[in-house]
Copies of this chain bind each other. A is one copy, B any other.
Amino acid sequence: MTTSNETDTQRHRSTKQRAAVLAAVEGVHTHPSAEEVYRVVRKKIRNVSLATVYRNLHLLAEEGKIREVQFKGDSIRYDGMLEAHEHFYCTSCGAIEDLPSKLPATALSSLTNKLGVTIERYALDYYGLCKKCKSRKS
Protein backbone atom coordinates (compact mmCIF):
# COMPACT_ATOMS: atom_id res chain seq x y z
CA MET A 1 0.00 0.00 0.00
CA THR A 2 1.00 3.59 -0.50
CA THR A 3 1.43 6.30 2.07
CA SER A 4 -2.05 7.67 1.39
CA ASN A 5 -5.28 6.03 2.51
CA GLU A 6 -8.77 5.91 1.01
CA THR A 7 -9.97 9.03 2.75
CA ASP A 8 -6.89 11.03 1.92
CA THR A 9 -6.08 10.24 -1.67
CA GLN A 10 -5.69 13.88 -2.55
CA ARG A 11 -3.08 16.00 -0.91
CA HIS A 12 -3.62 19.64 -0.23
CA ARG A 13 -0.83 21.86 -1.36
CA SER A 14 0.13 25.00 0.48
CA THR A 15 -0.52 28.10 -1.55
CA LYS A 16 -0.32 31.74 -0.64
CA GLN A 17 -4.01 32.11 -1.46
CA ARG A 18 -4.94 29.40 1.03
CA ALA A 19 -2.71 30.85 3.71
CA ALA A 20 -4.13 34.33 3.17
CA VAL A 21 -7.71 33.09 3.45
CA LEU A 22 -6.95 31.29 6.69
CA ALA A 23 -5.15 34.32 8.08
CA ALA A 24 -8.06 36.57 7.15
CA VAL A 25 -10.54 34.45 9.08
CA GLU A 26 -8.25 33.92 12.06
CA GLY A 27 -7.28 37.56 12.20
CA VAL A 28 -10.69 38.94 13.11
CA HIS A 29 -13.51 38.20 15.50
CA THR A 30 -16.22 39.55 13.24
CA HIS A 31 -17.19 36.24 11.61
CA PRO A 32 -16.66 37.54 8.08
CA SER A 33 -18.62 36.47 5.02
CA ALA A 34 -16.84 35.10 1.94
CA GLU A 35 -17.12 38.53 0.36
CA GLU A 36 -15.47 40.17 3.37
CA VAL A 37 -12.69 37.60 3.42
CA TYR A 38 -12.22 38.29 -0.27
CA ARG A 39 -11.80 42.02 0.37
CA VAL A 40 -9.14 41.37 3.01
CA VAL A 41 -7.25 38.81 0.95
CA ARG A 42 -7.25 41.16 -2.03
CA LYS A 43 -5.10 43.60 -0.10
CA LYS A 44 -2.32 41.01 -0.10
CA ILE A 45 -3.02 39.31 -3.41
CA ARG A 46 -4.57 41.85 -5.76
CA ASN A 47 -5.69 39.47 -8.46
CA VAL A 48 -7.10 36.74 -6.23
CA SER A 49 -10.50 35.58 -7.40
CA LEU A 50 -13.64 35.30 -5.35
CA ALA A 51 -13.99 31.68 -6.49
CA THR A 52 -10.62 30.85 -4.99
CA VAL A 53 -11.69 32.39 -1.70
CA TYR A 54 -14.84 30.29 -1.71
CA ARG A 55 -12.94 27.13 -2.57
CA ASN A 56 -10.41 27.66 0.18
CA LEU A 57 -13.01 28.56 2.76
CA HIS A 58 -14.74 25.25 2.12
CA LEU A 59 -11.51 23.35 2.12
CA LEU A 60 -10.35 24.90 5.39
CA ALA A 61 -13.74 24.18 6.94
CA GLU A 62 -13.50 20.55 5.86
CA GLU A 63 -10.05 20.34 7.38
CA GLY A 64 -11.49 21.74 10.59
CA LYS A 65 -9.23 24.79 10.61
CA ILE A 66 -12.16 27.20 10.52
CA ARG A 67 -15.91 26.86 11.02
CA GLU A 68 -18.89 27.87 8.96
CA VAL A 69 -21.83 29.51 10.68
CA GLN A 70 -25.12 30.73 9.33
CA PHE A 71 -27.89 32.80 10.84
CA LYS A 72 -31.40 33.05 9.49
CA GLY A 73 -31.60 35.31 6.48
CA ASP A 74 -27.87 35.97 6.31
CA SER A 75 -25.16 34.46 4.13
CA ILE A 76 -22.66 31.90 5.37
CA ARG A 77 -19.99 33.38 7.61
CA TYR A 78 -16.69 32.07 8.92
CA ASP A 79 -15.40 31.64 12.41
CA GLY A 80 -11.79 31.12 13.42
CA MET A 81 -12.68 30.07 16.93
CA LEU A 82 -12.68 26.31 17.12
CA GLU A 83 -13.69 25.61 20.70
CA ALA A 84 -17.37 24.90 21.36
CA HIS A 85 -19.23 28.14 21.88
CA GLU A 86 -22.54 29.85 21.22
CA HIS A 87 -23.49 32.99 19.33
CA PHE A 88 -25.48 36.13 19.73
CA TYR A 89 -26.57 37.54 16.36
CA CYS A 90 -27.80 41.12 15.96
CA THR A 91 -30.78 41.10 13.62
CA SER A 92 -30.25 44.77 12.85
CA CYS A 93 -26.57 45.09 11.94
CA GLY A 94 -25.47 41.47 11.63
CA ALA A 95 -22.84 41.71 14.35
CA ILE A 96 -22.00 38.41 16.01
CA GLU A 97 -20.75 37.91 19.55
CA ASP A 98 -19.16 34.71 20.77
CA LEU A 99 -20.51 33.31 24.01
CA PRO A 100 -19.12 30.58 26.19
CA SER A 101 -20.78 27.21 25.74
CA LYS A 102 -23.51 26.58 28.25
CA LEU A 103 -25.29 23.56 26.94
CA PRO A 104 -24.75 20.59 29.24
CA ALA A 105 -23.17 17.59 27.55
CA THR A 106 -25.97 15.47 28.99
CA ALA A 107 -28.42 17.17 26.64
CA LEU A 108 -26.68 15.59 23.67
CA SER A 109 -26.45 12.07 25.02
CA SER A 110 -30.06 12.07 26.17
CA LEU A 111 -31.18 13.01 22.66
CA THR A 112 -28.94 10.41 21.09
CA ASN A 113 -30.66 7.74 23.12
CA LYS A 114 -34.19 9.06 22.86
CA LEU A 115 -34.25 9.61 19.10
CA GLY A 116 -31.79 6.97 17.98
CA VAL A 117 -29.82 9.57 16.08
CA THR A 118 -26.18 10.53 15.90
CA ILE A 119 -25.44 14.10 16.90
CA GLU A 120 -22.36 15.63 15.33
CA ARG A 121 -22.73 19.15 16.60
CA TYR A 122 -25.23 21.73 17.69
CA ALA A 123 -25.78 25.44 17.28
CA LEU A 124 -27.25 27.62 19.99
CA ASP A 125 -27.91 31.03 18.50
CA TYR A 126 -29.53 34.00 20.20
CA TYR A 127 -31.18 36.62 18.01
CA GLY A 128 -31.84 40.19 19.04
CA LEU A 129 -30.47 43.72 19.10
CA CYS A 130 -26.89 44.36 20.12
CA LYS A 131 -26.01 47.12 22.53
CA LYS A 132 -25.35 49.68 19.81
CA CYS A 133 -28.46 49.00 17.77
CA LYS A 134 -30.54 48.87 20.92
CA SER A 135 -29.60 52.40 21.98
CA ARG A 136 -29.70 53.67 18.42
CA LYS A 137 -33.34 52.65 18.17
CA SER A 138 -34.57 53.95 21.50
Contacts and interface: CB of A to CB of B under 8 A. Distances in A.
Contacts of A56: none
Quickly give the copy total for this chain.
2
Size class of the contact patch on chain A: 20 to 34
Interface in A86-107: 88, 90-91, 97, 99, 102-103, 107
A107 B103 CA distance: 10
A123 B123 contact: yes
A120 interface: yes
A118 B128 CA distance: 5
A123 B122 contact: no
A60 to B, nearest CB: 16
A68 interface: yes
